[in-house]
């Protein structure tokens, strides 16, 4: 059955007849035309470009392999141009997964809306506000929940050596097992020789600022420009106020003083270290009818990425757009996300309710994966690294652990 919001007739807004669902369809259309972010901006909006939905369910894209650039050859006037080998890219293919969820509004909630709608003592404007608020809340949750998955994949991969896994019993209840591996280079998977702790800073085993400066210098030598460092809130505060940072900012005499944000920013800039972005993103999953919070960013890791965009998000056309059901109201919310609203009741053999569903086929494609460094700085057993190095690759550190 069609949405109950089609039954609210005779409402006026700004002196014009109001069609609630039609109004939202226009809102989504205008947002898509102007490329406006609806409701709230996420990391997937900041770091990716949204592509046009495609018919194919497979995402094929080129992953950049950033090496030192070839210099052109100095030629004689009649000499042929030499041919360079084209080894700068890898092709990455992956299934575009379907994401989706739905929210019920039971008959008791509909009764409350009807009480407002039919009450002659409530002004027209108040009726419209109350009914619009309910509609917006359901649509917003359905829409943003689909984009939440893009943030989850991105943040998990950037703080997990380029890999994100979905496991029904852990972070994907009611869903499927699924893995995305962005094929991060082994040279970009790092482990700090000593963990970033107060004990190691006090003992002089670790100088995080010097370590970050060394990594950034190495990246520049590889032709990569570091633009942004990502880390958790608690790791950021530790970096600001650990003993080594306080010594660098205040000197020995005043090392007991805390380090302000502006002082840390200045210290980073003086050491050619890019700005720090604190990742505080949280989301929730519905597990056994309970809301369980998830933190996609692993607090034991930091990441160094280029400034700005690192790839694109590729949508595929949703099945419901190809085969719409007659008694369902649909809205294209932009970026391949579809909102569907319908009613159930006795005719369908189900409990009377209004359902709002958000669904899409989406996958984030990290094209700049070889410009991104992921380093673990906490949460592991330390092993002695040869030559006094302050960090090494995950692969070599694993060999030390086995040895």
Give the largest Cα separation in the chain, rounded.
Answer: 91
Mean pLDDT comparison of 101-110, 132-141, 264-273, highest-scoring range: 264-273
For residue 71, name the pLDDT band (cuts at 50, 70, 90).
Answer: low
CA distance 60 to 372: 20
Tokens 């190095």 correspond to what residue? 389
The mean pLDDT value for 217-239 works out to 94
For residue range 246-294, list pLDDT tens digits in order: 988 888 777 778 889 999 999 999 999 999 999 999 988 887 777 888 8
* Count, residues in the chain: 403
What does DSSP say about strands 373-376 and 301-305: parallel, antiparallel, or unpaired?
Answer: antiparallel
Asked whether residue 89 carries a pLDDT value surpassing 60, the answer given is no
CA distance 242 to 259: 9
For residue 92, name the pLDDT band (cuts at 50, 70, 90).
Answer: low
Cα 134 to chain center, whole Å? 27
Mean pLDDT comparison of 101-115, 221-235, 384-398, highest-scoring range: 221-235
Mean pLDDT comparison of 36-45, 269-278, 333-342, 350-359, highest-scoring range: 269-278
Asked whether residue 369 carries a pLDDT value surpassing 60, the answer given is yes
Residue 278 is predicted with a pLDDT of 96
Q: With beta carbons less than 8 A apart as the criterion, state whether 196 and 184 touch.
A: no
CA distance 133 to 135: 5
Residue 351 is predicted with a pLDDT of 79
Q: With beta carbons less than 8 A apart as the criterion, state whether 259 and 330 touch.
A: no
Higher pLDDT, 383 or 192: 192
Residue 79 is predicted with a pLDDT of 65
CA distance 198 to 221: 31
For residue 62, name the pLDDT band (cuts at 50, 70, 90).
Answer: low
For residue 111, name the pLDDT band (cuts at 50, 70, 90).
Answer: confident
- Asked which of 57-71, 91-105, 184-198 is least confident by mean pLDDT, the reply is 57-71
Contacts of 400 by beta carbon, 8 Å cutoff, 6+ apart: 383, 384, 385, 392
Higher pLDDT, 69 or 98: 98
Residue 66 is predicted with a pLDDT of 43
For residue range 142-194, list pLDDT tens digits in order: 999 999 999 999 999 999 999 999 888 888 888 888 888 998 999 999 999 99
- Asked which of 4-13, 235-244, 321-330, 391-400 is least confident by mean pLDDT, the reply is 4-13
pTM: 0.87
The mean pLDDT value for 290-310 works out to 92
Closest CA to 285 of 180, 178, 169: 169
List phi, psi (to 5°) of 28.
Answer: -65, -40
The mean pLDDT value for 74-78 works out to 68
Q: What percent of the chain has pLDDT above 90?
A: 37
Asked whether residue 68 carries a pLDDT value surpassing 60, the answer given is no
Asked whether residue 77 carries a pLDDT value surpassing 70, the answer given is no
Would you put residue 274 in left (φ > 0), alpha (ψ -120 to 50) or beta?
A: beta
The mean pLDDT value for 135-145 works out to 89
Higher pLDDT, 225 or 93: 225
Closest CA to 294 of 113, 167, 129, 176: 167
For residue 85, name the pLDDT band (cuts at 50, 70, 90).
Answer: very low
Tokens 């141009």 correspond to what residue? 81
């Amino acid at each position: 059955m069609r949405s109950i919001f089609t039954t609210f007739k005779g409402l006026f807004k700004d002196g014009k007849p109001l069609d609630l669902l039609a109004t939202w369809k226009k809102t989504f259309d205008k947002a898509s035309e102007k490329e406006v972010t609806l409701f709230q901006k996420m990391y997937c909006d900041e770091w990716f470009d949204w592509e046009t939905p495609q018919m194919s369910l497979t995402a094929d894209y080129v992953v950049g392999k950033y090496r030192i650039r070839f210099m052109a050859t100095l030629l004689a006037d009649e000499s042929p141009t030499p041919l360079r080998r084209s080894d700068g890219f890898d092709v990455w293919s992956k299934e575009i997964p379907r994401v989706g969820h739905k929210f019920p509004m039971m008959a008791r909630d509909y009764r409350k809306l009807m009480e407002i709608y039919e009450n002659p003592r409530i002004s027209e404007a108040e009726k419209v506000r109350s009914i619009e608020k309910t509609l917006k809340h359901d649509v917003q949750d359905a829409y943003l929940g689909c984009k939440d998955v893009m943030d989850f994949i991105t943040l998990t991969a950037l703080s997990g050596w380029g890999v994100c896994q979905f496991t029904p019993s852990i972070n994907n209840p009611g869903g499927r097992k699924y893995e995305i591996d962005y094929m991060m280079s082994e040279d970009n998977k790092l482990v700090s020789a000593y963990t970033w702790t107060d004990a190691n800073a006090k003992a002089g085993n670790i100088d995080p600022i010097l370590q970050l400066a060394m990594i950034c210098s190495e990246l520049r030598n590889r032709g990569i420009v570091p633009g942004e460092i990502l880390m958790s809130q608690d790791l950021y505060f530790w970096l600001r106020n650990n003993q080594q940072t306080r010594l660098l900012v205040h000197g020995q005499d005043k090392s007991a003083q805390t380090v302000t944000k502006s002082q840390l920013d200045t210290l980073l800039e003086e050491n050619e270290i890019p700005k720090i972005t604190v990742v505080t993103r949280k989301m929730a999953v519905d597990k056994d009818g309970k809301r369980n919070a998830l933190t996609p960013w692993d607090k034991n890791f930091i990441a160094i990425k280029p400034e700005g965009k690192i790839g694109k998000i590729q949508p595929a056309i949703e099945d419901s757009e190809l085969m719409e059901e007659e008694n369902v109201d649909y809205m294209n919310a932009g970026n391949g996300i579809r909102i569907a609203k319908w009613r159930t009741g006795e005719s369908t053999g189900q409990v009377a309710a209004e359902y709002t569903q958000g669904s899409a086929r989406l996958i984030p494609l990290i094209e700049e994966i070889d410009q991104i460094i992921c380093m673990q700085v906490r949460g592991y057993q330390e092993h002695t690294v040869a030559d006094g190095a302050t960090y090494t690759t995950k692969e070599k550190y694993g060999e030390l652990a086995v040895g």
